[in-house]
Amino acid sequence: MPVKKKFAIQYSFYFNHLIVILVLLCCFSGAAQAQDTVAADSSTVTPVKDLQGILKQLFKKNKDTTTVAKEPKTIAILPSIGYNPSFGVVLGAKLSAVKRLGDDDKTSLSSFGLEGIYTTKGIVTAQARHNVFLKGNKWNFQGNWQLSKFLITDYSIGTGNKNYLTDSDSAFLIRFNIIRLTEKAYRKIGGNFYAGAGISFDIRYKIDDEKLATLKSTPHYRYSLRNGFDTTKYYANGLLLALQYNTREHPLRSYGGLYADLSLRFNQQWLGSTKDAIQVMYDIRKYVSLSRKNPEHVLAFWHWASYKLSGKVPYLELPATAYDTYNRSGRAYTIGRFKGPSYACFETEYRFPITNNKLISGVAFMNFQTASDDLEKKIFQFWDTAAGGGLRILFQKDSRSTICIDYAKGKYGSGGFFFGLNEVF
């Protein structure tokens, strides 16, 4: 294809997505101004309602007002019943909790999550995550523990692979088991800055590259041979050094502040890693509230990336779509759709309330992804994009936990509905 024609097609795609988002933002901004006007003219403030409270009213007797009020509950238990393109139909349960472990406002809220799911595509996962702040934020502990029977639909390495992305026969299903144990400890070093260290064990075994038996060659197989990995199992075990800056006012649904985490990962054979490797990784999130009367009007920005500095990284360990802690990035695409030794993802959202009681709110979003390969393709050389919108149902107002329902549309015919508990970022 001529370069000019190729550029015109890419430009048209980006321009069309941008126009859609701008129209949505204009509409939502108008709705936001109308809500602010109503709030200003009202003599009373509309009480905030959540789904948990509504269910209690429907199925339980009224609250006894003569009893002494207890500390608000901040634990949300929710059945996981939904669908997304990566998993198929999902059945399971999620627990989300927030709690302040100090006795003053100088201690940030700690968050805990526990999830177990089974899907119609044969995925079985148990996962626990935590982000704990001790008194005065002197210490912060972050962990992600996972045990899964998993699969991804693989479309090769790097972004811009049109031959793989337009032909369904070129998709490669890979099943594998994974054990992940990641733990980081941060010490406050002044202000909102933290320094820390940690360790991560990522063990993948019983890897079944389903098309290998018939095709004799797949992207996973070729990459593994080029880089000296066993095609049925490998380990990426490493030490972590990290710096963090955090001014978010809430861990689950922030209306303002900045979160930035920079890590160096050293995969080491003496820790059991198949190969040595050094990677630099960072996660940056910025939240800007657009209204004092309705702080839920938020512009949110997210950028997370991983760059290989040296060594070799196993194929299924390469940073990829939805490989963030909560597997939520890159909506419109399946988990692992784009991957590479170096990978970057950019996302932005506009969040806004729809009902005056804050029970229902909405979101409009865009994302951009780019990845290199282990041959000649460079990061930032090709981009793959997506855009969409969704609804948020406030499940529990004390913890700000929400039920998320999103629809996203991407390139190459990718798209679908995505369900989750709590904001994507």
pLDDT tens sequence across 64-80: 544 444 444 577 777 77
pLDDT in the model for residue 403: 87
pTM score, whole prediction: 0.80
pLDDT digits (tens, 9 = 90+) for 201-246: 999 999 999 999 888 899 999 999 999 999 999 999 999 999 999 9
Three-class SS state of 341: coil
Band the pLDDT of 83: cuts 50, 70, 90.
confident
pLDDT digits (tens, 9 = 90+) for 276-314: 999 999 999 999 999 988 899 999 999 999 999 999 999
Residue 39 clears pLDDT 60, i.e. is over it: no
Which sign does the torsion angle of CA 26, 31, 32, 34 carry?
positive
pLDDT in the model for residue 100: 85
**Spatial CA neighbour of 403 closest among 379, 386, 423, 374:** 423
pLDDT in the model for residue 163: 62
Residue 28 clears pLDDT 50, i.e. is over it: no
Residue 29 clears pLDDT 60, i.e. is over it: no
Residue 262 clears pLDDT 80, i.e. is over it: yes
pLDDT in the model for residue 62: 56
What is the average pLDDT value for the chain, to the nearest integer?
83
Structural domains in the chain, CATH included, are 3-421 (2.40.160.50)
- Residue 354's CB is within 10 A of a number of other CB atoms, namely 15
- Strand intervals (E) in 219-325: 234-246, 257-267, 277-289, 298-311
Q: Which residue has the tokens 């960072």?
A: 282
pLDDT in the model for residue 73: 53
8 A C-beta contact, residue 160 and residue 381:
yes
Three-class SS state of 30: helix
- Residue 153's CB is within 10 A of a number of other CB atoms, namely 17
